[in-house]
Amino acid sequence: MSEYCGYDEKQVFSLYSKMEEKLGHHRYIHSVGVAGTAVSLAMKYGVNVYKAQIAGILHDCAKCYEDEELVKLCLKKGIEISEFEEEHGFLLHAKYGAYMAENKYGISDEDILNAIRWHTTGRENMSLLEKIVFISDYIEPTRNKAADLPQIRYEAFNGNDIDKVLLMIMRDTIKYLNASDNSIDTTTIRAYEFYEKR
Ligand code: DGI
Ligand code: FE
Ligand code: FE
């Protein structure tokens, strides 16, 4: 019980049904995939598997809102947002997701909340759980479009350097954003530069 960081099994699995109701089918299947992948990586890298499962199933819990709605919701709840986030509202599903996880789904574990909060941009100095959720989001089974997926999946499960996996994903994401003429948040750049220097 305590390993479930204070939540009992029923509560944890009720999060699955809540996400199934809240998210569309495709997004729900993605979230189940992230939870499963995060659990597997948690076993490999020595992280609490239940925290990985909870963070994985909830990471996109705010994905059901439109960009402008996310901006409004954040302002209403007093969540600080940058000018860049105001213009790229979809990024806020991570921040607002952490808010919902805490206030709607009763999660108090700060590491789980941070894993949700930073799952889109990443950040400098991420915890192991944050890295695991960030990586799982990119490699879970229903993802199939990203560049270098086979190599990244291989490295995540067969390598011994999780930062190397992180860097492969960050590099590909920035490359993709540049190629598709998308502007990049400073948090994303700072995270990439932090891990590139290591
Ligand atoms: O919510 P998901 O689709 O499961 O995944 P996610 O939350 O990681 O979002 C992925 C998208 O976010 C992907 O298309 C890359 C984009 N993204 C990540 N960092 C930035 C960004 N987009 C912009 N414009 N700027 C960023 O810094
Ligand atoms: Fe997301
Ligand atoms: Fe996701």
> Quick one: pLDDT at residue 1?
41
Closest-CA residue, ligand 1 atom 25, reads: 184
Distance 93 CA to ligand 2 centre (A): 7
- CA-63 nearest atom, ligand 1: 1
Distance 86 CA to ligand 2 centre (A): 17
Convert the pLDDT of each residue in 13-31 to its tens digit. 999 999 999 999 999 999 9
Closest-CA residue, ligand 1 atom 15, reads: 173
**Closest by Cα among 165, 156, 167 to 43:** 156
What is residue 47's three-state secondary structure?
coil
Q: Provide mean pLDDT across the span 75-94.
A: 98
Convert the pLDDT of each residue in 162-187 to its tens digit. 999 999 999 999 999 999 999 999 99
Neighbours of ion ligand 3 (CB under 5 A): 60, 137
Query: How many beta carbons lie within 10 A of that of residue 157, not counting itself?
Result: 13
CB neighbour class for 178 (10 Å; exposed up to 12, middle 13-18, buried from 19): exposed
> Quick one: pLDDT at residue 10?
84
Looking at all shown ligands, the one closest to residue 136's CA atom is 3
Q: Provide mean pLDDT across the span 156-167.
A: 98
pLDDT band at 147 (very low <50, low <70, confident <90, very high): confident
pLDDT band at 55 (very low <50, low <70, confident <90, very high): very high
